[in-house]
Amino acid sequence: MPPVSDAQHDLQAHPVLVVDYGAQYAQLIARRVREARVYSEVVPHSMSAADLLAKQPAAIILSGGPSSVYAEGAPALDPAVLEAGVPVFGMCYGFQAMAQALGGTVDHTGGREYGKTAASISDTESTLFAGQPTSQVVWMSHGDSVTRAPDGCRVTASTDGTPVAAIEDDERRLYGVQWHPEVLHSEQGQRVLENFLWKGAGIEPSWVASNVVEDLVQSIRDEVGGAHVLCALSGGVDSSVAAALVQKAVGDQLTCVFVDHGLLRQGEAKQVEEDFVDATGIRLVVVDAQEQFLTALAGVTDPEEKRKIIGTQFIRVFEQAARDIVGSEEREGHPIEFLVQGTLYPDVVESGGGEGAANIKSHHNVGGLPDDLQFKLVEPLRALFKDEVRQVGLELGVPEAIVWRQPFPGPGLGIRIIGEVTADRLALLRRADAIAREELTKAGLDRDIWQCPVVLLAEVRSVGVQGDFRTYGHPVVLRPVASEDAMTADWARVPYDVLAHISTRITNEVEDVNRVVLDVTSKPPGTIEWE
């Protein structure tokens, strides 16, 4: 592995661009590039070659996709991308589009390869396959095949069904494989990707926590200058790390505001007011806005409307807090210009904020912001995945109890109640959620589970028997999930005895709940949260 440079520079100035051809794994490719300690971004295939190259990429990766290169309207690759001298790596559909643009041949051979496939490597000293075995399992998903490699490209891998499964051209720094190296099923996939990045493209792996912290701190200083800043602090890892970053950058120019909106889990307000402040010394203002939020949410059942209401109320609370802080003797005459939020890259992508991304749902801190926002936003984590945020937090000295806390949505329990949000329903869900978290912690599963939302089906009742009496109570849903970055997820296989204990405690201890059910849906097709 190449040594990590200590030189500080703008780590995002020359990104590796992942061109999304409609693959379900485009964000995963970007994440795998980050794991190779290189900064990456996802861009749409509709971006012109000129705009793509204007970003001054260190390299370009062409993702897979569902189309055939011969299908009407199939995404095309402008040859100008391949002629610009930028290293390019094609995967699956991106490999075929690249081979075709270079003058190679792609055919409907009638043979298909899906799932695990044995690949034979003909040159284990090549750029992509240096140091790897001659036979390796790869993950295929294709119908068309490259049957003739472009002139100047060497064929360095094949399968029984695909004679041209990998090509390399070191002179032009053009590479491609027919399989998906980004998925874990491809045994040497990460090594193939790292070989492209480090050897083929010659990129130094400098995207590490210590460098990222210094880079982000300098960016914050450049953006904020001498202005005063508010930070929306929830106590979760995202807002806590964002606050710690801004404090390191601008010190006493920062005031954190914690809104107790009544949608928090049990014990969270205390954790923020005591644990985080004690650990960091951050200036904190606590605003009790429970009545304001519940009033605004009264009668609302649509999840998108809930998110937008909660986002708007957040901003209104911060605007009032800013006025109060500016009017205080300590801050008199120093208006607050900036609002810090812990927005992450998956938030941006899912809210349609990534270039070419579909709007899956509005995150309260992205799609739910009002048009007349009175602050300039500072979002230092906007380019990071969750695991990167945790590493930055540890680098900054944020307490581990906060860094490793399970993700919790900004709208809180408001989007874990299916139906209208009321004080009674919140109290019920808060207790059920606390029981589930306690038992998962006792079982030592906190690091194995990404998060375990507990969902109250407030508009549903089911018949039960408790204490020899017929009951007509609410069901709650346990949603334990395993994930690397929340872009994709699978349901976590929690041991049956742990699930049984959680169910028994909830139905015994939480009044008006008589049924506990388990959500075993992956993402996709479901999302992690129900709303």
- Residues with catalytic roles: 92, 180, 182
Look up residue 354 and give its two tokens: 């990534």
Query: Taking a C-beta distance cutoff of 8 angstroms, is the pair 361, 307 a contact?
Result: yes
CB 151 within 8 A of CB 103: yes
DSSP 432-487: HHHHHHHHHHHTT-TTT-SB--EEE-TT--EEEEETTEEEEEEEEEE--EE-SSSS
Query: Which token pair is 476?
Result: 């709650």
Burial class (CB in 10 A: 0-12, 13-18, 19+), 303: middle
Residue that is written with structure tokens 């980050």 in the block: 34
| Residue from 371, 372, 368, 233 nearest 309 by CA | 368
State which amino acid sits at residue 305: E
Contacts of 91 (CB under 8 A, 6+ apart): 29, 61, 62, 63, 64, 176, 177, 179, 180, 181, 182
Token duo for residue 274: 């005591």
Structure tokens at 230: 């508010």
The three-state secondary structure class of 59 is: strand
Backbone angles phi and psi of 124, in degrees to 5: -85, 10
Nearest to residue 145, comparing CAs of 196, 82, 70? 70
Residue whose C-alpha is closest to residue 364's, from 421, 300, 303, 407: 303
Residue 463 pairs with which residues in a beta bridge? Answer: 472
Q: Are 221 and 250 in contact (CB under 8 A)?
A: yes
Angle CA(498)–CA(502)–CA(508) in degrees, nearest 5? 145
